[in-house]
Structure 1
């Protein structure tokens, strides 16, 4: 076998010099020793498969996972609930009966839930201490170097559902991996646990799995629920001083992989992996003067590229990195639509990755029939709503039903259909998916908010997760959270339709009440001003992400300023990590760059593990928050990345603004090919404290209004007769593919 084949498989660093990727070496994960906790591990993934590399005792451990490893059995008794009955119980002050059906089962039963796959371990004691452990994010390659010269490389192929591992410079020809299977069936009873810490795997009641070992392969077959199963397959070969291997996980089918190596001349899979990541990183870039924020940004965008593909289920709480601690993942690793899934896709649109954000809308479309069934059964309405907490097949899971079975969840997830259309301007997607989805969401909301001749209202409203799961969490008037969602849903629906039908939804929107507010800004709900710190900025949804309020309008500006002043005054003691990332996006809408950056810095310094994973609690002993725990979830990471985008580029009511919230202290900052609504790609440079240039490419063509960061400018590549301008605002009619460049005079 030619050495070149082995080199191309596992001596991979030489490839890096040929790539023109945006991340730099300073953005990589770099450790002088191996992480010893699963949530501090080196992460690799391709949307379908994921692996966490860490050290457990003296062994190097690979925690293997697959996105659709699920126990999707129905939640007991959840289908007995009816929204009208819930309202009756609330009015009778008998909420314990509701909790028994809607909340207790979530903690009482281990499933439905995401489940872990298996783990590989390598006894590396003979290699001596680890000298370095690195994830090169430009290559999506993890490398571990030992003191005796042994080197281990790992990657999960960007396109194929296969993971690879390899060791160089081995002296022991008998060095092989060991498979460790999850403790689904150990003969122990298993403790109950809770949804945050993770319940014991034994409680799932699975039959014992089988492990079949061959000379150079291991196959693990694990029965799960109701005849379902999954398999883990590992194969390896050792040639002289090199061990190479591959692994995969399959669900409800026999695990298979192409041959690891069949001949000396067979091309390896590494080039196609590299091509995908090179293309991913070429889509956009940012350059920030704050090196810590820039590194966190690139690490978060690396994670986005690792967990999203157009064909996968959406990004769940932990996606492809399920906890490897002998328990179920925090909050069962499920799909939370009261914040988590939505925030997880925020940065994909602006970063020009519409192929990956499509995974969310594709899955919502695929589960639409189940969601419609539940909508009719629970709410009694036509149209479409989505459970706020659901399984991989879209079925409700309950748990704090004010939010897990909210009447307005579909209004928030529908925003992603709107964005998928607006950022790409794909008219086929608009007609086939965005219009019908939004129309059905609007139909449900129109029916459930009917109120005779008065302003529209919900029978019951809430604001996640105010008053947690108590009866006080229900309001008899619109919360500002629900009201903002309903207003925006009708507005989005109208914007996707022709005038005659659009006017119908504009009229319905006009029948909604105004936002509840006091002298301190937006309330949580009428009679409940925002006076206590809280992790979920639900009452500010109208500012961000919905952008119902616009800072360019004086009345909105005053309300936004008061509301954000109050947010700062009340403080952060009950915040978790995502609260800081979301707050950065909120502050950026009011052009408060310094405050936004402060929020981003606090997130990166206090609420992330050493591998950049968002772990919810304050890891610096409670410096900014009373929460000091460490359950890992992903949405905070992706909200952080969007916070960076909101500093650099914003879109409000048809106007694109460049550098809208960049602090004055950021004298050198730039970005390339960030995407806005209307399918425009923008690049801009600020150097030595002065904005120098802005370029625009119209992917689909159309009318653009842009607010430049300089008042005097020259323009190239565009005829002046197709332009109108004032001091800062320019209007252009651009053809498909046309580019215009503005430079400061």
Structure 2
């Protein structure tokens, strides 16, 4: 990655995955990111000041707009507006509220600023991802000052330590957000340039009590919060500070408790707390690993798994658009930092299961399950339907925020949200989760959707309105007849998975019920060149950022490339058509999504090429996905840089798909790696396969050396023979068996829970 150098002039084994910069970091979206799931910190600057931009995941202005609360805010009204071609009605009732009001929105917390009296002459910044600790070394005149900082993985507090006496002239300022400040609102660009002053909050008040200082911020709703800091010079010759972001979510004595915690932590010391913090991260990194001959790809896998654990943690809210790193620019965050369900939340949680980071990803599932009461209320109030459905652009608590109505109020986007439950069940093999949560969530979603499914003239089921994110943007042309491939693919997926789950659970009546619905759905629209269409009346004729018409290929995987020649032709022709249309209107995540499709195709060269395009041209030097080609390298037409996280994790998902396929419960090692990788050494350890099995494998000099399985649950596991031999050896415990299996054929291995199996060439 551009801008990365080693502190000592060369990269060694200990820091080759770290972020290391040999110049001051001048922007918040290029900063060293720290996080513990609830709290985030971005460390950047030149010493005058050195900034700690702070965030907390549950700081939200949750005020809903009057239009959302109006009785006319319904799906039926949206349908009527579409049918009469009333674009003005659609905009005024459903869309303009997103820009008209500054709320609801994610809120920044504020920042800490360390000042050393003058800018540093030289700054070296280092994020050690193994221990999740930032180190900033500054030469200031004849002094060398070292600042170390981490956000504790367990107790949630932030720690700062400064070494390099003397400390005279060092000042720590607590800076609240600029709610009453000077930055004007740019009405021409309300999505990216809305001033915090539009929220009309009172200015924060500053307080001090011995070693403890804080600001107190009240808002125009129930939310109150504070940044609380305790600081002192220690007997060991360091200056130390402990901070926290406290809010009235934390209980009645929230502020007093915060002051007590930072004082106690300061007494305990930086080093003592660091041991427990490192122990948590050591356990996290022990869950899985990779070794690649491609240093950049390997680094990005580790860096993004670091980002994932920093911004998604069980017990904390799942990541919205910017995770725990809300923009520090005196403005509302891009797109208000909301929860987008037309791809953003889904892509953000694509990779974690295969990477074997279950607990961190469970944040999203727990969140969705906890919002079922709100999803039921929204299904009733907006869709006039039973079951559940969430707004596709929503707040932390599931409130509708408005926006382009065909996407922000889509009835099918919630089906894509359902896939998180399906994937968790498939990867863990947890039958209780299937019965008690996955099937329930799918069924309740179907209850809502079926309220609006009606037969058309051909007798096939359709929705009253249909669209395909984000084709034709926010125009009347975006409403597609009779049904888009996007909506249809999601409907097929919903009822196919319900059918398969009901079979697994032996719900005979439900199996028949879902089969009947499936039989009434039309086929996906395909043109004469075997390319998936946008809908039966329109082909995609130009490049587009959202691969919505291709959902059947990935992530829904409705097409069986290996079992159906027709499906293979459709998938391959549709992917090839991307190359015909070009990438002019892509954004960063488009490259990642395309890479995942090429990986499904087995095309490792194309997959890594598209990942490199994203990493090189649409990612900040710290790895953050900035959506646009902000370097103006010519890879796409968007040259902006709004930071969102979904592209980061979609890319790592694609990288993992290059290393391991587990679809159809068949394990295929290294199905889509580039030729250069195969000629060298490639290895992954403890990737999660389907039905509760962990998979490890290694390839060297174009030969698969081993595949190892570890069963968390007993069962039969299918492995494709990708060895260059038909004679294989299988070792389970102290027993070794030899067998003959044709190359590319499937061998089935029976394992008990806790057993491991090693497959090698005889």
TM-score higher than 0.5: yes
Which residue does 1:249 correspond to in 2? 245
How big is the shift at 1:193? 5.8
Which residue does 1:151 correspond to in 2? 146
CA distance in 2, matches of 1:63, 1:278: 26
Alignment of 1:546-585 (within 5 A): 546-553=556-563, 554-585=565-596
How big is the shift at 1:261? 5.2
CA contact (8 A) 1:402 1:473 kept: yes
**Segment drifting more, 699-708 vs 172-181:** 172-181
Alignment of 1:155-554 (within 5 A): 155-173=150-168, 175-186=170-181, 190-192=185-187, 194-239=189-234, 241-252=237-248, 253=250, 254-255=254-255, 256=258, 257-260=261-264, 268-451=272-455, 454-497=459-502, 498-499=505-506, 500=508, 501-520=510-529, 521-553=531-563, 554=565
CA contact (8 A) 2:618 2:629 kept: yes
CA contact (8 A) 1:480 1:539 kept: yes
TM-aligned CA distance change 1:461 to 1:264, over 3 Å:
closer
TM-aligned CA distance change 1:388 to 1:263, over 3 Å:
closer
How big is the shift at 1:526? 1.2
Q: For the aligned residues, what is the CA RMSD?
A: 2.2
CA distance in 1, matches of 2:554, 2:465: 23
**Segment drifting more, 186-195 vs 526-535:** 186-195
How big is the shift at 1:527? 1.1
**Segment drifting more, 429-438 vs 684-693:** 429-438
CA distance in 2, matches of 1:226, 1:192: 24
How big is the shift at 1:720? 8.5
CA contact (8 A) 1:45 1:51 kept: yes
**1:717 lines up with 2:709 in the alignment:** no
How big is the shift at 1:192? 3.8
Q: Residues 17-44 of structure 1, C-alpha deviation per residue, up to 9 Å, x if partnerless?
A: xxxxx98411100001221101011100
**1:38 lines up with 2:28 in the alignment:** yes
TM-aligned CA distance change 1:581 to 1:725, over 3 Å:
same
Which residue does 1:734 correspond to in 2? 751
CA distance in 2, matches of 1:400, 1:300: 30
CA contact (8 A) 1:449 1:456 kept: yes
CA contact (8 A) 1:130 1:144 kept: no
**1:72 lines up with 2:62 in the alignment:** yes
Alignment of 1:113-124 (within 5 A): 113-124=105-116
TM-aligned CA distance change 1:187 to 1:697, over 3 Å:
closer
Q: Residues 678-710 of structure 1, C-alpha deviation per residue, up to 9 Å, x if partnerless?
A: 111100001112111110111112121221321
CA distance in 2, matches of 1:449, 1:682: 41
Which residue does 1:697 correspond to in 2? 710
Which residue does 1:617 correspond to in 2? 628
TM-score, normalised by the number of residues in structure 1:
0.94
CA distance in 2, matches of 1:469, 1:235: 50
Which residue does 2:3 correspond to in 1? none
TM-aligned CA distance change 1:188 to 1:463, over 3 Å:
closer
TM-aligned CA distance change 1:206 to 1:410, over 3 Å:
same
How big is the shift at 1:130? 3.3
How big is the shift at 1:258? 4.7
CA distance in 1, matches of 2:404, 2:442: 26
Q: How many residues align?
A: 725
The 3-state SS of whatever aligns with 2:445 is helix
Which residue does 1:9 correspond to in 2? none
CA distance in 2, matches of 1:567, 1:361: 33
**Segment drifting more, 477-486 vs 702-711:** 702-711
CA distance in 2, matches of 1:313, 1:153: 27
The 3-state SS of whatever aligns with 1:227 is coil
The 3-state SS of whatever aligns with 1:619 is coil
**Segment drifting more, 708-717 vs 455-464:** 708-717
CA contact (8 A) 1:414 1:437 kept: yes
How big is the shift at 1:226? 2.1
How big is the shift at 1:507? 2.3
**Segment drifting more, 569-578 vs 366-375:** 366-375
TM-aligned CA distance change 1:158 to 1:265, over 3 Å:
closer
CA distance in 1, matches of 2:165, 2:521: 70
CA contact (8 A) 1:200 1:328 kept: yes
How big is the shift at 1:265? 9.6
TM-aligned CA distance change 1:274 to 1:57, over 3 Å:
closer
CA distance in 1, matches of 2:587, 2:574: 20
TM-aligned CA distance change 1:199 to 1:188, over 3 Å:
closer
CA distance in 2, matches of 1:327, 1:317: 15
How big is the shift at 1:227? 3.0
Alignment of 1:553-702 (within 5 A): 553=563, 554-666=565-677, 667=679, 668-702=681-715
TM-aligned CA distance change 1:313 to 1:84, over 3 Å:
same
The 3-state SS of whatever aligns with 2:399 is coil
Which residue does 1:19 correspond to in 2? none
Which residue does 2:4 correspond to in 1? none
CA distance in 1, matches of 2:524, 2:446: 19
CA distance in 2, matches of 1:170, 1:318: 37
**Segment drifting more, 672-681 vs 106-115:** 672-681
How big is the shift at 1:277? 0.5
TM-score, normalised by the number of residues in structure 2:
0.92
How big is the shift at 1:660? 1.0
CA distance in 1, matches of 2:56, 2:37: 8
Q: Residues 527-563 of structure 1, C-alpha deviation per residue, up to 9 Å, x if partnerless?
A: 1112210000011111111111122022111111100
**1:107 lines up with 2:88 in the alignment:** no
CA contact (8 A) 1:218 1:234 kept: yes
How big is the shift at 1:432? 2.5
CA contact (8 A) 1:246 1:260 kept: no
CA distance in 2, matches of 1:724, 1:332: 59
**Segment drifting more, 298-307 vs 216-225:** 216-225
CA contact (8 A) 1:656 1:706 kept: yes
